[in-house]
Structure 1
Amino acid sequence: MLPDFIIIGAMKSGTSSLFHYLQLHPEVGMSAIKEVDFFIAENNYGKGVDWYRSQFTGNFSKYGEASPNYSKAHYFAGVPQRMHDLLPDVKLIYLVRDPIERIISHYTHNYSEGREHRTIEEALETLSDNHYVMCSKYFWQLNHFMEYYQGAQILVMPSRELKYERHSALQRVFAFVGVDEMFYDPAYEEQKHQSSQKRRKGRLSRLVLESPLIKTLKYYIPDAIKDPIKKATRPEITKPTLRPELRDKLREYLQPDVEKLQAFTGYSFSSWDI
């Protein structure tokens, strides 16, 4: 099997939650692992199409995957073209959130994983070509896909709708994908992957969670098992705040991209601090 739809991002915008909710739909078969990253040359593209097909099993009407790295064109080049070469008719779902809040969440995630050692002020000292900032330039990222896919193949959804208007948001997603939009599961009442309190990886956490066995199996281990391990082995950290001057600088830098996204989607994004 090959996917009928792909959640392309954005990172830290609710992709894990949407992946989980779609898994519950009886007509939808999601990939064996969430972040397949097949169309990224540096990751799994070299494994070949047969490997990619093997990620989709079972008897379902529609199949899908979610790889937020696909919408990091500044970092992973050529994704839309590779995708279109294999899947010219695939549908794309792009979740977006307040760009500045996404940047803070992205930084906090990297810091908690031990991949970021700078303060957030240091990490955002230069905005041009900044990895955190580029991931929040949603229209710029989306424009790379629009070179190959028609607008009717793309669904842009504010992650705020998935959080606060979940039923109607999921109905839109189901209708877009082409499955029963009225399907409901009681688990849809649950908020998945809440991240208000992060924990930083320490030596003990790395020994446990980065052992060869766990790294191999991490995508298959339920959160109910992983989360208590993280809680027991990682110290809590506090989400950073931005100086008003830096926040203003980010607003000014991101505003043109937000305006283009508004024009493309028809959304006002009035809740965003831009």
Structure 2
Amino acid sequence: MKAATSTLHMQLAAQPGIFMATPKEPNFFGNPDRWALGLGWYQGLFAAARTDDLCGEASTHYTKLPTLPDALPRLRDTIPDARLIYMMRHPIERLVSHYSHGWLERSIDGPIETAIEHHPELIDYGRYAMQIAPWITAFGRDAILPVFAERLAIASQQELERACRHIGYAGEARWDESIARQNVSGERLRDSPWRDRLVDHPLVGAIRRRLVPRSVRNRIKRHWQMREQPALSDALHRHLTGIFDHDLADLGRLLGTPLDCARFRDVVRERPLSWA
């Protein structure tokens, strides 16, 4: 979650011979309500794919321990030969982005310090070794490709080629520069049912576009936007660094390279990393 999964999903979908599901995150194996819809519902997401297409989806809910523990056994039992891609980014930056996402959706309120106390998933979903270790045990290292958002940003073509090789794509992968970054929190509006009902009303919308200058509309929109990422205090940053460094040490052992918060960006940008 919040590690460039939407960007990679869109780039894979742009390749001839790869069919990516809509919605991007069906969350079939993780969410109890989606699982209850049955395998036929899930198969229907790929009904429009051609016979020889590679089919995929990008559900981040599959690595949300301990919140959703059933995703792994369900997926393993249903698609035992699945090819998996696990995406990561600096865990503290991921946490801040997760908080911003929750604030926009109104699933998280209050300052980030308070949110961390009441929402342990902000930390848990960024404990990458803890999340991926059970999948490595279940599927084997060769089935899972580790991808880092920081390297995807600076070596986009190479990382796309790497992802396509991993899933068995025989075509020539091409990064599409026309595809914009996905899920930019600073550009989204915080959920507001009354605002959406008002804005979506055809008559009100027509009046608003005709009579209210764009500059005024933009100033009003800022009321629902998170224009700046929340700043962490020095004490909170040290606290989070201590937590994540323990997990990153385990992740580094899985990847065969020393890893901690301080070195994270440099290490993951330098070269592609694979399981040791």
**What range is the shorter-chain TM-score in?**
0.7 to 0.9
- The letter of the residue matching 2:64 is K
Residue identity matched to 1:54: G
Matching of residue 61 in structure 1 with residue 50 in structure 2: no
User: Shift of the alpha carbon at 1:261?
Assistant: 1.0
Does residue 86 of structure 2 align to residue 97 of structure 1?
A: no
Q: Identity across aligned pairs (percent)? A: 25
Return 5+ residue gaps in structure 1 as ranges.
1-10, 212-227
Q: Give the 4+ runs in structure 1 shifted more than 4 A.
A: 208-211, 231-234
Distance in 2 between the 1:188 and 1:267 partners?
34
Counterparts of 1:1-274 in structure 2, within 5 Å, are 11-56=1-46, 57-59=48-50, 60-125=52-117, 130-180=120-170, 182-184=172-174, 186-187=176-177, 190-207=180-197, 235-237=224-226, 238-266=228-256, 270-272=263-265
Give the match's secondary structure for 1:34: coil
How far, CA to CA, are the matches of 1:69 and 1:199 in structure 2? 23
Kindly state the Cα deviation for residue 207 of structure 1 after the two structures are TM-superposed: 3.1
Higher share of residues assigned helix: 2
**How many angstroms does 1:191 deviate by?**
3.4
Q: Is the 8 A contact 1:29 1:63 kept in 2?
A: yes
Note the C-alpha offset of 1:254: 1.2
Q: Distance in 2 between matches of 1:52 and 1:145?
A: 21
Letter in 2 for 1:144: P
CA shift, 1:210, in A, is: 10
Matched letter for residue 35 of structure 1: E
Question: Per the alignment, do residues 208 and 34 of structure 1 end up closer, same or farther by CA in structure 2, a change over 3 Å counting?
Answer: farther
Distance change (3 Å), C-alpha of 1:124 and 1:29: same
Specify the code of the residue in structure 1 equivalent to 2:224.
P
Measured at CA, do residues 125 and 38 of structure 1 come closer, stay the same or move farther in structure 2, by a change above 3 Å?
closer
TM-score (norm 2): 0.80
Change (3 A) 1:165 1:26: same
The 2-side partners of 1:185 and 1:154 are apart by 21
Report Cα offsets for 1:188-237 as digits up to 9, x if no partner. Answer: 674344344553223444436999xxxxxxxxxxxxxxxx99x9596222
Q: Is the 8 A contact 1:29 1:58 kept in 2?
A: yes
Q: Give ranges in structure 2 of 5+ residues lacking alignment.
A: 202-216, 268-276
Matched letter for residue 29 of structure 1: F
Q: Secondary structure at the match of 1:47?
A: coil
- The one-letter code sitting in structure 1 at the alignment partner of 2:26 is V
Letter in 2 for 1:63: C
With over 3 angstroms needed to count, the CA separation of the structure-2 counterparts of 1:205 and 1:144, relative to structure 1, is farther
Conserved in 1, the CA contact under 8 Å of 2:104 and 2:189?
A: yes
CA 1:169–1:247 in 2, change beyond 3 Å: closer, same or farther?
Answer: same
- Deviation of the 1:268 alpha carbon: 5.2
Query: 2:102 & 2:200 partners in 1: Cα distance?
Result: 15
SS of the residue corresponding to residue 148 of structure 1 reads helix
**Pairwise CA RMSD:** 2.8
Q: Contact 1:94–1:156 (CA<8 Å) still a contact in 2?
A: yes
Conservation of the 8 A alpha-carbon contact between 1:31 and 1:64 = yes
Q: In 2, distance between residues paired with 1:246 and 1:97?
A: 19
Deviations 1:97-121 (A, max 9, x none): 0000000000011101122112101
Within 1, Cα distance between the matches of 2:240 and 2:179? Answer: 34
CA change 1:266–1:234 in 2 (3 A) is farther
How many residues align structurally?
245
Structure 1 residue 152 displacement after superposition: 0.2
